Chain A
């Protein structure tokens, strides 16, 4: 696929934009064409946070696309919000351990993950978003694990150096996230 359109949506505080930033940074460092728009409103906190990311091999035209190829919704409100970005070609991923509703918009495939639950039980609530990053990495299959690790160093390197165990924790979360999606490049 020459261009992958990703919509990542969640509640403020779930780290949606942080995940998007690492993803696009990874793409940029890997030499891809990237276009990332953080959705922002007047509310500093508390609204649904949406990230529109495009990763492509060639120059990207439209900054805002109508329908996403991969849609990741991390809350009930995010599921509702993302309906408008869903087409029959979209793959919708949602966290069933957070959401009480299921995506109902017509799409190619719905994948439920339990990242929040697994992060809480097995690792730490703090790496929930990194786990989602793993899900995204596997589902899109346009970037390599090394690209993401590289971008994580750029974003979190200082924290990692201060507490090396954090690096391991994040890597683990990333790998567990990847394992949540069976098929590569859905």
Chain B
């Protein structure tokens, strides 16, 4: 007897069931991050206070992923839209969701200044070390030697500089009395859930949170499951997975 068809998918309340099939590529990390985020929002019961903004690039495909009020913006501009919302309507739990290109290249000035001012929002950078939607170009976080469309012979750090370390950067400038800064990975979603929980709690209390999530892009990496996992492990060696800044008393 087959019974599995009766089992409903495990959707968080903050996830939009009506959105239908995932728009992300098979094996993509975005779904894992977003699902974990949705679950955390449910757990903290922030559904009515949350506003979710997504960027350009693959993150834009999340425009109707959440069963929350959402806004899709321009490349790199999600951070100012969301702090524009939280400034105007305090009490909103603003979430700005973007990739490494939007966060660290075209939107870097917003990343830096929002962190410096410690604006009241959660910035999530899904770091998959390349520009996925535009076809796999080098991004600020592309790892040394990594092949991309614009570094077909591998990233030469002598020419293109070293990979950008977002969490370290943000932790060095954010207000320690207001901020939570961490790097997590899709290799451990339970840990990611814990990180999101702290990050969202801090934002709900008026603080600034930044979470970089190491993610995967099998399509542009041209990796199979095993290769993807190996690449993620290499990334975790390059980008330290830990909490960088935790406001005192935040649990």
| Direct A–B touching, Cβ under 8 Å | no
- Interface residues in chain B, defined as those with a beta carbon under 8 Å from any beta carbon in chain A: none
Point out residues on A near B: beta carbons under 8 Å: none
